[in-house]
Amino acid sequence: MHLQEIIVRPVYSSEEPIFQELMQAHHYLGALPKIGNTLWYVATYQNNWQALLVFSAAALKCGVRDHWIGWDFRYQYDRLKPVGQQFPFSHLT
């Protein structure tokens, strides 16, 4: 397998049921509903799904993250929009 042959693309709306089935079967959190701003991607090799990627809006409350960034409560909500939350890469093979 050559890395140049791997294609990462958004999941089409018609593919969402397949995406959800695979997440339920292979990811430790199971199927994840789209809540808020969420992007679903699939990595393919020779048109076969190899991995799923999920990016969604940051959690509203995450004390460890906010402390590390240096946010206090006053600034937290105004600054969350540019922060994303990535769910772990799910290998399907």
Query: Residue 85: its pLDDT value, please?
Result: 57
Asked whether the beta carbons of 37 and 55 are under 8 A apart, the reply is no
Instruction: Give the total number of structural domains in the chain.
Output: 1
Indicate the pTM of the whole model. Answer: 0.64
- Which SS3 state, helix, strand or coil, does residue 90 take? strand
Domain encompassing residue 41: 3-91
Compute CA distances 36 → 13, 26, 55, 81, whole Å.
16, 23, 11, 11
Longest dimension (CA), the chain: 49
Q: pLDDT tens-digit profile of 23-76? A: 999 888 788 777 777 889 999 999 999 999 888 776 667 777 777 877 777 777
Instruction: Say if strands 48-57 and 6-10 run parallel, antiparallel, or are unpaired.
Output: unpaired
